[in-house]
Amino acid sequence: MQRNTLTTEEVAEYIGVHKDMIYTMVRQKQIPHFRVRRRILFNHETIDAWIQEQIKESVQTKEAVAER
């Protein structure tokens, strides 16, 4: 059974960035997360949806640039 929450380190590995980048994104409220006391946690399904949204925005930006 898959755990539904991920740690900062797990999210960093999952999306392929350094954990310091995740901490920066959390501080800047660029990635969905929640806190349990001092721990920063991520919902796996929410991260998957966020990734899909990032892809969608990237494609839309590329299409807009191509139309110019």
pLDDT at 58: 85
Domain that holds residue 28: 5-67
Residue 3: band (very low, low, confident or very high) from pLDDT cuts 50, 70, 90 = confident
Confidence check: pLDDT of 1 > 60: no
pLDDT at 27: 97
User: Residue 51: how many CB atoms within 10 A of its CB?
Assistant: 13
Dihedral angle computed from the Cα positions of residues 56, 62, 67 and 68, in that order, rounded to the nearest 10 degrees: 130
pLDDT at 25: 98
- For the chain, the domain total comes to 1
CATH of the domain at 11: 1.10.1660
pLDDT digits (tens, 9 = 90+) for 38-62: 999 999 999 999 999 999 988 777 6
